[in-house]
């Protein structure tokens, strides 16, 4: 499951809404959204998936084989974020693309990576659609901000059951509303060396 989250089972299971398309490979590409419905303006189509990609880079470097669940979690709770599962990653625009994505109308931008040196990689974004250049740059800027201000910190998760009000949610926190409550996630600012 994307972002290291474990799927829940049982009574009143929350099943996130999703849209399944067909990529240029002929294999499925599924957008899964965190809310209760597919965003009203969602317009990504099979034709968008078949269009030419654009890239933007963040300058954030990781060692090869590093697990970056902290970054993935941060990206999955951004405004307009979703999980973009592609049976063939090239359907997102590159074999080096990864599932967190931003969607705005008929455009998307997904996490992307490229070799930076023999033992490192740079994280960036790749996108498609009529507004892909702006959206791809926005995702790369979000990665850059995370790398400069929150990388290496541990997020704080708080659960607020339905009927309770979250206390003093910081403006930097993300709130995910679910049928039985609200989950807030926030990241402290990393100490500068």
Tell me, yes or no, whether 88 and 8 share the same domain.
Answer: yes
Tell me, yes or no, whether 166 and 109 share the same domain.
Answer: no
Tell me, yes or no, whether 67 and 131 share the same domain.
Answer: yes
Determine whether 109 is exposed, middle or buried from the number of CB atoms within 10 Å of its CB (0-12, 13-18, 19+).
Answer: buried
- pLDDT tens digits, 9-66: 556 666 789 999 999 999 999 999 987 789 999 999 999 999 999 999 999 999 998 8
Q: Which domain holds residue 160?
A: 156-186
pTM recorded for the entire structure: 0.86
Tell me, yes or no, whether 100 and 119 share the same domain.
Answer: yes
Q: Structurally, how many domains does the chain consist of?
A: 2
Q: Is residue 120 part of a domain?
A: yes
Tokens of 48: 């968008």
Q: Is residue 192 part of a domain?
A: no
Tell me, yes or no, whether 112 and 168 share the same domain.
Answer: no
Q: Is residue 70 part of a domain?
A: yes
Question: Which of 29-38, 66-75, 138-147, 173-182: highest mean pLDDT?
Answer: 138-147
Tokens of 69: 């669940």
Tell me, yes or no, whether 28 and 61 share the same domain.
Answer: yes
Q: Is residue 74 part of a domain?
A: yes
């Amino acid at each position: 499951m994307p972002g290291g989250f474990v799927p829940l089972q049982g009574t009143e299971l929350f099943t996130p809404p999703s849209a399944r398309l067909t990529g240029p490979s002929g294999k499925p590409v599924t957008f899964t959204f965190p809310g209760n419905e597919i965003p009203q303006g969602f317009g990504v189509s099979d034709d968008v998936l078949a269009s030419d990609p654009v890239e933007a880079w963040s300058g954030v470097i990781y060692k090869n084989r590093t697990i970056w669940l902290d970054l993935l979690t941060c990206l999955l709770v951004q405004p307009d974020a979703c999980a973009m599962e592609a049976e063939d990653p090239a359907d997102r625009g590159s074999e080096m693309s990864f599932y967190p994505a931003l969607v705005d109308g008929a455009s998307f931008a997904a996490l992307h990576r490229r070799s930076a040196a023999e033992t490192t990689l740079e994280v960036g974004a790749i996108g498609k659609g009529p507004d892909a250049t702006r959206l791809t740059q926005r995702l790369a800027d979000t990665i850059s901000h995370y790398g400069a201000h929150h990388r290496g910190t541990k997020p704080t998760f708080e659960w607020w059951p339905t009927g309770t009000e979250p206390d003093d949610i910081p403006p930097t926190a993300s709130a995910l509303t679910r049928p039985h409550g609200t989950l807030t996630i926030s990241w402290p600012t990393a100490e500068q060396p």
